[in-house]
Amino acid sequence: MLKAPKFWYLKKDTYLSSSLFPLSLLFRLGTKLRSLFSKEKQSELPIICIGNIVVGGAGKTPVSLKIGQMLIEAGYSPHFVSKGYAGLEKNNTLIESWHSPKRVGDESILLAEVAPTWVGVDRNRSFNLAKDKGADCIVMDDGFQNPTIKKDFSIIVINGEQEFGNKRVIPSGPLRESINRGLTRTNLIIVIGKISNEIKEKIPSHIPIIYSSFAINNENKTFKGQKILAFAGIAYPEKFFNSLRDQGAKLVKEIIYPDHHIYDENDLLNLAEIANKTQSILVTTKKDFVRIPKSYRSLVNTLEGKIEFEDENLLLEILSNVVENKINAI
């Protein structure tokens, strides 16, 4: 996977973003044509879609994990469905403990720690398989832009640090579709952190907004004052680096790998050598940690945390109504 271009997240246009604009128009046209000529398939299960408008880094997976946990605690039996992004597995597969991130993707490995998780290109088939295995609702990590899936409830996640970048569509910017098109198709917005007034004004008044934050686990506060070599292969690593700084860590070096990078022995030996020279400790994200060879994981620390919603009761009430209405309608 490639790194996201830096100009995507600049607040002003650059020569590159302007020169790529004609290709963005073609991308938007292709997206519109796909929507026009695709037929939605409806599942018997309630489908709750957690998506975003930018290509990555908004926080879909942490939000999906939290919502899955909430539904379980409320007495439901949710299954996660993911495409298994960057994984080699294309068939519909239930994640097992022996699966590797290279095979099924890193996000599905994390999701499977909370609830049964399915990957595969044909997500509609995954819904049917999940139903056969006892699921009463689906939390779909990504897929908001997939026109072949009928969603019962769609949530867009916005990361306050990145928002919508330069507000241009791929490849001129980080957007999968125009902001207006995405916002008019969602049922609810979850904001991680805070967003600008400019973005607030773009959100239709009838769409509820749930604010949230990424809370670091208490044990990670031991990083305060420590010299750290931070590395990550995620879509928006700046969020991770800033979280470490917020904890009071001293970052001696930041190393960025491509999104979903599968680490090998050479990567870890190189990182360990740099950490030794700088007398620092290695720290990465939990998402990166599962992509590190097991024999080297003892060398690496993780910054772990979870999403906390400001109004969790309201969100659970909304989602419970979605699930109950679909179940009662069958």
CA atoms within 13 A on the CB side of 322: 23
CATH topology identical between 35-214+308-329 and 218-303:
yes
8-state DSSP, 228: E
User: What does the pLDDT read at residue 305?
Assistant: 86
8-state DSSP, 260: T
Angstrom distance (rounded) from CA 310 to CA 320: 18
Model confidence band, residue 221 (pLDDT cutoffs 50, 70, 90): low
- pLDDT digits 0-9 by tens, 167-204: 999 999 999 999 999 999 999 999 999 999 999 999 99
Angstrom distance (rounded) from CA 282 to CA 299: 7
User: What does the pLDDT read at residue 219?
Assistant: 64
Alpha-carbon dihedral sign for residues 219, 221, 225, 226 = positive
CA distance to 10, 18, 162, 293, per residue, from 61 (Å): 24, 31, 16, 22
Bridge partners, 251 (sequence order): 228
Domain ranges of the chain: 35-214+308-329, 218-303
The answer to whether the predicted template modeling score (pTM) of the entire model surpasses 0.85 is: yes
> Which amino acid, one-letter code, is at 306?
K
Say whether pLDDT at 2 is over 60: no
Pairing between strand 117-119 and 250-256? unpaired
> Which amino acid, one-letter code, is at 127?
F
Residues 44-55 have a mean pLDDT of: 96
Which tokens go with 13?
A: 């246009």
Say whether pLDDT at 277 is over 70: yes
Residue for token digits 């939290």? 66
CA distance to 47, 137, 262, 289, 290, per residue, from 155 (Å): 11, 15, 29, 27, 26
Say whether pLDDT at 78 is over 60: yes
Say whether pLDDT at 226 is over 90: yes
Among 1-10, 268-277, 307-316, which is the least confidently predicted range? 1-10
Say whether pLDDT at 29 is over 90: yes
- The answer to whether the CB of 284 falls within 8 A of the CB of 231 is yes
Secondary structure E strands in the chain: 47-51, 78-82, 93-94, 117-119, 137-141, 153-159, 188-192, 209-216, 227-232, 250-256, 281-285, 300-303, 305-309
Architecture of domain 218-303: 3-Layer(aba) Sandwich (3.40)
> Which amino acid, one-letter code, is at 182?
G
Model confidence band, residue 215 (pLDDT cutoffs 50, 70, 90): confident
Bridge partners, 188 (sequence order): 155
User: What does the pLDDT read at residue 86?
Assistant: 80
User: What does the pLDDT read at residue 220?
Assistant: 58
Residues above pLDDT 70, as percent of the chain: 98
* Secondary-structure class of domain 35-214+308-329 per CATH: alpha beta
Q: Whole-number mean pLDDT of the chain? A: 93
> Which amino acid, one-letter code, is at 247?
Q
